[in-house]
Amino acid sequence: MTINPNSTLGTFYGVGVGPGISGMIPVAALQALQTCEVIVYPRATSQETSAALWCLRGLELPKAEFQEVAFKMDPDRNVLRQHYLELAQELAELLKQQKNVGYLTLGDALTYSTYGYTIAALQDVLPDVPHKTFPGITSYASVAAALNWPLGEGKERTLILPCPDDMEYLRRDIETHDIVVLMKIGKRLPQVLALLHSMGIAQHCVFARRLGFEEERLCADVSQLSAEADSGYLSTMLIRRAPREKRHS
């Protein structure tokens, strides 16, 4: 946390919300948002609504003006650098007006999140910006809770990674860890399922997509999953290399 009470700038708050279920936000983070004049929320250009804003529904934030930022997942790093620079400059102008600004992100603010790029760019543009980042609930922690699926027991080794394009890389990761948390699956789901079936472990794995939304999909046994029907945005899979060991008689 870097907050100077004598600063002439507003304070910037990074807040992880959800994923999915309304109200899944730390009390301290909600109290910080209630002091904000502006709350900025991201929306993927491929989606009609903001997943992060959806997670705030029903919560009282009467003081804030909401502003949307559209994110295009462009593979060109130069395009992305320019995007984050422009966003940081817009945020800096609000903070120079002594407005407190909240920035929403889905899940945890610093786990595979655009917020990490945003705060880095803002600190370059406005080095003395007072700021605080609140931790949130990761998508995989939320999926594990929804399905009562432990993310690690005893001395099990857990790996968290975005889904690779090459399934042989994923095979090696599964073979060298007890549990793999697989994020950013998207259109690669058919290849992932084919790999798990070939390894004979699909029945040990679980899957969730758009958790907490109306179109939520939860699957406690991915051997029953439809590769085509369940591909898409905001999906997470929890992979177990071997059956869970029973610790009770």
Considering only the C-alpha atoms of the chain, give the largest distance between any 2 of them, rounded to a whole number of Å: 64
Whole-angstrom distance, CA of residue 232 vs CA of residue 39:
28
Domain boundaries, the chain: 12-134, 139-240
C-alpha span between 43 and 64 (Å, rounded): 18
pLDDT digits (tens, 9 = 90+) for 23-56: 889 999 999 999 999 999 887 766 667 778 778 8
Q: Residue 45: what pLDDT? A: 63
**Cis status of the peptide bond prior to 42, with omega within 30 of 0:** no
Hey, what are 109's tokens? 């603010």
Question: Is the alpha carbon torsion for 116, 117, 118, 121 positive or negative?
Answer: positive
26, 18 contact by CB (below 8 A): no
User: What b/e sequence results for 63-82 when a residue is b if at least 16 CB atoms lie within 10 Å of its CB, and e otherwise?
Assistant: ebeeeebebeeeeeeeebee
Beta strands in 107-152 (DSSP E): 131-134
> Tens digits of per-residue pLDDT, 54-110?
788 778 776 778 888 877 666 677 778 888 899 999 999 999 999 999 999 989 999
Strand partners, 44: 71
CATH 3.20.20.80 applies to domain 12-134 = no
**CATH of region 139-240:** 3.30.950.10
Q: Please state the pTM of the whole predicted model.
A: 0.87
